[in-house]
Structure 1
Amino acid sequence: MNTEQSTKIDILRGGQFLVKETDCNDVFTPEDFSEEQKMMKDSVKEFVDREIWPNKEEFEKKNYKLTEEIMKKAGELGFLGVTVPEEYDGLGMDFISTMLVCDYISGATGSIATAFGAHTGIGTMPILLYGTEEQKKKYIPKLATGEWFGAYCLTEPDAGSDANSGKTKAVLSKDGKYYSISGQKMWISNAGFANMFIVFARIEDDKYITGFIVENDPENGITFGEEEKKLGIHASSTRQVFFNDTKVPVENMLSERGNGFKIAMNALNVGRIKLAVASLDAQRRVTDLAVKYSNDRVQFKTPIAKFGAIKSKLAEMATSAWVGESANYRAAKNIQDRIDIRLSEGSSYSEAELKSFEEYAIECSILKVACSEDIQNCSDQGIQIYGGMGFSADTPMESAWRDARIARIYEGTNEINRMLSVGMLVKKAMKGHVDLLGPAMKVADELTGIPSMEKPDFADVLSEEKAMIAKLKKVFLMVAGSAVQKFGPDLEEHQQLLLAAADILIETYMAESAILRAEKNANRYGIENQKYQIKMAQLYLYNAVDTVTIKAKEGIVSFAEGDEQRMMLMGLKRFTKYQNQPNVVELRNSIAEKLTSENKYCF
């Protein structure tokens, strides 16, 4: 879609999905990929199947050199610079294409997923978004082509989730020509082969840290710890980096003094959605392997794929991958459309990207949490389907499970991202960017009103599911609205309540994305053609309703008492009630039988 067309769409602002209905025709789905994007996808898949998948054993043996070699080849093919403008030797493609490459290059091993994500995301984007023209011309072409590799030095022994608490210092020289940086950074991905670091340090007693571009020169006071011994991502180079009076020219300051915390947080917005999409092909591959194994494995003279317990697992694994795909590309297109609008209004490339990622920070956090947990659950079920063999390092399930575990920690822990998603939404409401107050008051009025006895007509495909999505949004508004009213600015101190509200928000967004994709494709390809996709959307929603019920009840009883509590619990029951309860066993069986008949992940 070109810029002129995209500006005509009523694009929801970040977080507005909660209070406004989205037309299915306005969401982007993988079925909407352009021919160029399909070719890019095929090219990346061919590269992974040729260069990465056959070498899985080598990655588990901590072959860091192989990771570096694969990254260089990826750079030669243009995969490291998909969204980098052509003037800096990139391919100049859109953000959806960037997500597409990140998706399919990351599925074979977490080691490459981490190296790729760290380099193209937090290793390159800070310069592209915040660098001067001179900095971009000097560094971006090398990073985009794989001539150089980047790393991101933020975390310290005492500065993890509290990123601004770092103790690394930057002292200006007497002649004002350079800064001397001294400090310790840890858990630095790509440290073993990085040519350049984005380093965050504090100047004097500044309130906020400052970002610097630091070239890797061992004769300039830069030393490294040994490679970390890790649970997973074995061939991802992860080391401590020590700076001892490392001299950095003043022109290598990134953005302005004291702007480092802002750079770090905004870089993480990009990193979060890219981490989410990087979980998808891993889920597809794990599901694919589990399907094949369950068809081949015979017990009691029957392939285990025929057993209901296995069908349930396969259906849930495939569904989470398909739903994650739906939500990621929906958000990616929202971001790209916002970039296009800003560019058409005269914004610079950097400003357009920066503001657009910031706009959808809530969705980025939602996706990061949902998809990182889905790949963990998927790989765990994969091990279970393989049984004893799944626990063996001779099969790919064991390494998939170990590699998946880190995704819930980096780019901000899932606990931090849960609380951020709700906190950012409340702040948007206070700024008037998202009208939560009006809809929340309507829900409050509805709770005290007389429920309608009229049964709605759910004749159209997915019409009841869409109505359920609308009711789940009411649950969030009921819980969060009452909590904000009760605690005000002190809400952030009630972390367990925030976590419960976040799960309602997450499940609502993910389920809605699935319903919208299924509806859009059913309308254009026919219900029969999309019957399994419709079933997956229904299955995910069924599970989402259960999660929302549990989390909302947990939240309500934590702060409401007496009549208020009873009224809210009655409202919760009303808002989570189906008119036509889906047969969840039939849904799972049907999805699983489609998978096993195709003998692969086929959606």
Structure 2
Amino acid sequence: MSNLPKGGSFLFSQTDPQDIFTPEDFSLEHKMLYRMVSGFVTDSVLSRMDELEAKQDGLIRELLEAAGELGLNGADIFEEYGGMIMDKISTTIIAECMGKSGSFAMTQGGQTGIGSMPIVMFGTHEQKKKYLPGIASGKKVGAYALTEPGAGSDALSAKTRADLSPDGKYYILNGTKQFITNSAMGDIFIVYAKIDGDKFTAFIVDGDSEGLSTGAEEKKMGIKGSSTRSVILEDVKVPAENLLFEIGRGHVVAFNILNLGRYKLAANSVGNAKFALELAATYANERKQFGTPIANFGLIKEKLAEMAIKIYVTESMVYRTGGLLENMMESLDTSGDDGGQVAAKGIEEYALECSMNKVFATEALAYAVDEGVQIHGGYGFSAEYTIERLYRDARIYRIFEGTNEINRTIIPVTLMRRASKGELPLQEAIAKLKEDITGGSIVREGEAGLVQAAKDIFLLTMAAGMKKYGKDLQKQQEIIGRLADLAMQAFAMESAWLRAQKAVANQGEANAKLKLTMTMAYLNSTIGRLEYIAKETLTALAEGEELANLLEDLKKLTQYNTRNTVALRQEIAAAISENGKFVV
């Protein structure tokens, strides 16, 4: 573990392109898995989407069991408990391919993520033996009951209460949970409650428990085929042995599970965005106006190209992070009774990257489906066209697994906390940057220079924030949100660049040309936006001569030669139109 990069360390060091995982590194088994899951989604889910959206009785269970037979529900569950444990790249592939399955992606994601991972990571041997085989097979449906009417992002303010019975055999749960995925058919609920009103604790609650009921189905904007209801707990008796992990440490369970959930949601977003681009490119090739396919029009080309660029960058981030998670898992001994907790601790190292993936990917998806509708014109607003459903379904992604606002606050705050513990060299990097600026040794050459510029812009702005507010910086959400965007874009730019460089080294420049083109287009069109964000933030942090000096320093960091991004996008659009889908 000591040889693995620390979470967030990308901001303070150079990464060798050969050290990151990219989709070009898929093994034969990975490629076979990709084809199998894609085929399952196309043949078994998309072909029945109308029935799924209408909540046809029994269909969700039928599809979950079919996924279980293929091993897709048990990829994170050890064979001892009915699963077929896979590496983190494989579980990422499953999540990506499931992404385009609409409502089913939410149902299956709830089953394999938040609905079961608390037991996988924090359950006892007896709990795992009792509950996990049913989840892996799909014969039992898992659900996660954390959110309450008055406690969404602020989960620890939950009001649901648990009291130990006089004989010590049961906990009596009372409270209401809201917006619970899979609730209508939930057999196993992970429920959070406060013992004696103050000790936030996780419990495994059987769906058929007396006193547990569900409200009416929510009338949702999208993901209509998945079940979302409130869960009402009225004197529900939960056996004492169903307490999950430790009394008063439910937050440890909740937050660790969310790290993996955020990462998988990012992978879902990649698959969904690719589907949106495929629909848009196919339509643009077929739809003619003024005697020519609209794919030949410049402004349509720009939309197709930008969709593809965002997908490429997101995919690069997601699989780079998947490689980090897999390397972490390989470095750990998870064979003991506490193996799940060891794994959770390992994944927590990259909590910052998980949050960045979640925010970037869900916003890239939002862009893709929005432009997909625009390319379809009036037909995109019609429910007869699939892109209309994708547009509605995608909106929840920026809210699930912690809103993007909450995830943005996590990024700089985590960096500051780890730096204060000596785990990341934040102050040292800031001092080195100031020295370089003063000494006039800032040199920007090519795209590698733009990547370093993005990191330096973040450091310069972060330093100004810390100087003004110190530890109280985390309370300044407008500043924190902008710092998060700067750090996230540095990770995005570097991930795209490293992937392209690795492809050039391994496959030759000719075979890596489209990756290079997408990378150059993204980096050159993003750096100016980062400069603007930094200017806006610095102006909120300083004034007078201090501000003038900071803006002068910023100017030194952003000296670079621009490329013709219009021409680069034309190349990308031509490749997308020719193939009718995302290609690199």
Please report the TM-score for the alignment, with normalisation by the length of structure 2. Answer: 0.97
Deviations 1:220-277 (A, max 9, x none): 1011101000010000100000000000010000011001112111110010001000
Question: Alpha-carbon deviation of 1:54?
Answer: 1.6
Report what 2:514 is aligned to: 532
Please, which of 276, 280, 299 is the counterpart of residue 290 of structure 1? Answer: 280
Tell me how far apart the structure 2 counterparts of residues 305 and 103 of structure 1 sit (CA, whole Å). Answer: 27
Is 1:216 paired with 2:216?
Answer: no
Report what 1:505 is aligned to: 487
Aligned residues of 2:381 and 2:388 also touching (Cα < 8 A): yes
Tell me how far apart the structure 1 counterparts of residues 60 and 353 of structure 2 sit (CA, whole Å). Answer: 31
Q: Structure 2 stretches of 5 or more lacking a match?
A: none
Per the alignment, in what secondary structure is the counterpart of residue 456 of structure 2? helix
Aligned residues of 2:125 and 2:337 also touching (Cα < 8 A): no
Please, which of 12, 16, 25 is the counterpart of residue 23 of structure 1? Answer: 16
Letter in 1 for 2:207: N
Is 1:370 paired with 2:360?
Answer: yes
Report what 1:35 is aligned to: 28
Per the alignment, in what secondary structure is the counterpart of residue 5 of structure 2? coil
Tell me how far apart the structure 1 counterparts of residues 113 and 43 of structure 2 sit (CA, whole Å). Answer: 24
Report what 1:342 is aligned to: 332
Please, which of 438, 444, 447 is the counterpart of residue 428 of structure 2? Answer: 438
Question: Alpha-carbon deviation of 1:112?
Answer: 1.0
Question: Given the superposition, is the C-alpha separation of residues 550 and 59 from structure 1 closer, same or farther in structure 2, using an over 3 Å criterion?
Answer: farther
Question: Alpha-carbon deviation of 1:446?
Answer: 3.0
Per the alignment, in what secondary structure is the counterpart of residue 113 of structure 2? helix
Q: Structure 1 stretches of 5 or more lacking a match?
A: 1-6, 459-463
Question: Alpha-carbon deviation of 1:59?
Answer: 3.1
Question: Alpha-carbon deviation of 1:344?
Answer: 8.4
Tell me how far apart the structure 1 counterparts of residues 277 and 408 of structure 2 sit (CA, whole Å). Answer: 27
Report what 2:582 is aligned to: 601
Is 1:591 paired with 2:581?
Answer: no
Report what 1:479 is aligned to: 461
Please, which of 223, 226, 251 is the counterpart of residue 216 of structure 2? Answer: 226
Deviations 1:41-72 (A, max 9, x none): 11101111101122223333344642332112
Tell me how far apart the structure 1 counterparts of residues 559 and 183 of structure 2 sit (CA, whole Å). Answer: 52
Per the alignment, in what secondary structure is the counterpart of residue 100 of structure 2? coil
Aligned residues of 1:196 and 1:213 also touching (Cα < 8 A): yes
Report what 1:88 is aligned to: 81
Matches within 5 A, 1:344-359: 348-359=338-349
Question: Given the superposition, is the C-alpha separation of residues 268 and 326 from structure 1 closer, same or farther in structure 2, using an over 3 Å criterion?
Answer: same
Question: Alpha-carbon deviation of 1:443?
Answer: 1.5
Letter in 2 for 1:528: A
Per the alignment, in what secondary structure is the counterpart of residue 210 of structure 1? strand
Number of matched residues?
Answer: 584
Per the alignment, in what secondary structure is the counterpart of residue 332 of structure 2? helix
Please, which of 483, 492, 512 is the counterpart of residue 474 of structure 2? Answer: 492
Please, which of 393, 403, 423 is the counterpart of residue 413 of structure 2? Answer: 423
Tell me how far apart the structure 1 counterparts of residues 553 and 55 of structure 2 sit (CA, whole Å). Answer: 54
Letter in 2 for 1:28: F
Q: Which shifted more, 83-92 or 251-260?
A: 83-92
Aligned residues of 1:182 and 1:243 also touching (Cα < 8 A): yes
Aligned residues of 1:508 and 1:544 also touching (Cα < 8 A): no
Tell me how far apart the structure 2 counterparts of residues 62 and 214 of structure 1 sit (CA, whole Å). Answer: 25
Report what 2:550 is aligned to: 568
Tell me how far apart the structure 1 counterparts of residues 548 and 56 of structure 2 sit (CA, whole Å). Answer: 59
Per the alignment, in what secondary structure is the counterpart of residue 544 of structure 1? helix
Question: Given the superposition, is the C-alpha separation of residues 72 and 489 from structure 1 closer, same or farther in structure 2, using an over 3 Å criterion?
Answer: same
Question: Alpha-carbon deviation of 1:177?
Answer: 0.6
Tell me how far apart the structure 1 counterparts of residues 250 and 116 of structure 2 sit (CA, whole Å). Answer: 15
Question: Alpha-carbon deviation of 1:324?
Answer: 1.0
Per the alignment, in what secondary structure is the counterpart of residue 278 of structure 1? helix
Question: Given the superposition, is the C-alpha separation of residues 62 and 259 from structure 1 closer, same or farther in structure 2, using an over 3 Å criterion?
Answer: same
Please report the TM-score for the alignment, with normalisation by the length of structure 1. Answer: 0.94
Aligned residues of 1:324 and 1:371 also touching (Cα < 8 A): yes
User: What is the aligned-residue RMSD (CA, Å)?
Assistant: 1.6
Report what 1:104 is aligned to: 97
Per the alignment, in what secondary structure is the counterpart of residue 239 of structure 1? strand
Report what 2:383 is aligned to: 393
Tell me how far apart the structure 2 counterparts of residues 64 and 506 of structure 1 sit (CA, whole Å). Answer: 42
Please, which of 503, 506, 515 is the counterpart of residue 521 of structure 1? Answer: 503
Identity rate, percent: 42
